[in-house]
Structure 1
Amino acid sequence: MSNTVLITGSSGNLGRATAKFFQRNGWNVVATMRSPDQEQELSALDNVLVTRLDVQDTASISAAVEAGIARFGGIDVLVNNAGYGEYGLLEATPEDKIRSQFEVNVIGLLATTKAVIPHFRARGDGVIINISSIGGKVTFPLGTLYHGSKFAVEGLSEALSYEMAPIGVKVKLVEPGMIKAAPGGGSMSVNDDQSLTEYREFVGKIFAALGPLMDTGSAPELVSEVIFRAATDGTDTLRYIAGPDAEELLAARKAADDVTFLGGIKGQFGL
């Protein structure tokens, strides 16, 4: 019997590539998203169930897990991919957006994981893969909320691995670098306020540098291969770095003290 993976955020760039990669490799795929009625590509693939899951709606999480088990007989791997980046000046960010960043990237991830754990526990097996980021290990300017949420994903995943081990479940972190966005795509929200004149020069420099950085990102297919390896290698490896830019940046962070590394980031952005 084929293995089954449940993936959140499957309508996005990385989630879609990951769903297709698992399907091509003979897996059953529960491809979840907030608006499944608008999905056409994944719905046309064999052994793919497209169903609704909004990480901020616990009823939809439970329904998606139950639908996947009913369709394929079980779930072997959970890929917590749903998420987005809230960027910009903290002073210019409304409180509801601050809360939303953590509700989606952290609380939603925990809620989805919690919904799948009883199934894994009953089976004595399973893999939880949380999509983190190099942004969970290093930071860029204007990323206070996004980096805060991804640092949280790093910590909760590492801690969760202890309690999952006795029930036969592995926890994995995949840390991609920049990922090339699909045309017209991208999961980013930006907050700014032109009246905050003291920040104008700073903000201008950041956005001037961010564009070229985004263009050098890895294809989502490369990252999906790393996710598949994390799901199937059978090891207790916790962290998987995905992309040459991620390898380079994380190596530099490990080798430098705070003053040196942060100084290098400031130099990269012309600060």
Structure 2
Amino acid sequence: MSKTILITGAGSGIGKATAIHFQKQGWNVIATMRSPEKENELKELENVHSEKLDVLDLESIHVAIQNGIKKFGKIDTLLNNAGYGAYGPLESFPRENIIKQFNTNVIGLMDVTKAIIPHFRANKDGVIVNISSIGGQMTFALGSLYHGTKFAVEGISESLHYEMKEIGVKVKVVEPGFIATDFGGRSFDFQSGNIEDYQLIINALMKQWQNPNNTVSPPSLVAEVIYNSVTDGTNQLRYRAGDDADYLLDARKKMTDTEFFEMMNSQMEK
């Protein structure tokens, strides 16, 4: 019997690539997104079922899970992928943007997870995969909101790992580096605030992000790492995705705070 994965944020980027990858491996896929009527490619794939799910809407979460179970009988894996990045000086963000960032990346993730746990507990089986980032272990300038949420995802996942073990459920965290997605488009909220004191660091960060020498991995690479995390049969918690993830996270672990800050500042100065 084929296994089933439910994916949030499956309309583009990592979520869509993961839906395609798991479908190719013979899995059933519940591809959830805010506007499933706008997605055409996934609808053409066998054993892929699209559902409306907005992580900010509790009712849509429960309906999508129940409809997925009705469609395929059982859900074996949850991929918490939906999210976006807010960048800019903290001073420049309206409070509603701050709340939205944490509601989407943290509270939404917890709501979806909490909603599916009873199903996993009843089956004494399941895998929860949370998409974090290298930004859940280290930071870039102007990312206090985004990094705050990803550090939270890391802590939630690590703690959840203990209690889920009691009911036969595994928890996995995937930490991508720079990925070629639309993160800079509809999944990105940048607020400069037009405060002159921050312009130098804003300009430096923009130049660094636009550097053609930066290593950027395709979403398909992350999909492969996600698939491996689900199927490797181990209790490993964290998985990196991308050569840059390996380089930067290794550097962060080896360096003192001062050394790492100096390295990052020198990169922006270039």
TM-score (normalizing by structure 2): 0.97
Match of 2:244 in 1: 245
Residue deviations 1:97-156 (CA, integer Å, cap 9, x gap): 000000000000000000100000000000000000000001000111000000000000
> Is residue 110 of structure 2 the alignment partner of residue 122 of structure 1?
no
Match of 1:212, SS?
Answer: coil
Match of 1:212 in 2: 211
Count of residue correspondences: 270
Match of 2:49, SS?
Answer: strand
Match of 1:51, SS?
Answer: strand
Q: 1:63 to 1:118 in 2, by over 3 A?
A: same
Q: 1:35 to 1:265 in 2, by over 3 A?
A: same
Q: Could you tell me how far 1:198 is from its partner in structure 2? A: 1.4
Give the alignment's Cα RMSD to 1 decimal. 1.5
Question: What fraction of aligned residue pairs are identical, expressed as a percent?
Answer: 53
Q: 1:269 to 1:9 in 2, by over 3 A?
A: same
Distance 2:102 2:157 in 1: 15
Runs of 4+ in 1 over 6 A off after TM superposition: none
Match of 1:254 in 2: 253
Match of 1:269 in 2: 268
Match of 1:6, SS?
Answer: strand
Residue deviations 1:34-78 (CA, integer Å, cap 9, x gap): 001111000111000001000000000000000110000000000
CA contact (8 A) 1:178 1:213 kept: no
CA contact (8 A) 2:85 2:183 kept: no
Runs of 5+ unmatched residues, structure 1: none
CA contact (8 A) 1:160 1:171 kept: yes
Match of 2:4 in 1: 4
> Is residue 170 of structure 2 the alignment partner of residue 170 of structure 1?
yes
CA contact (8 A) 2:215 2:243 kept: no
Distance 1:127 1:214 in 2: 36
Match of 1:198 in 2: 197
Q: Could you tell me how far 1:181 is from its partner in structure 2? A: 2.1
Distance 1:249 1:45 in 2: 37
Match of 1:111 in 2: 111
Runs of 5+ unmatched residues, structure 2: none
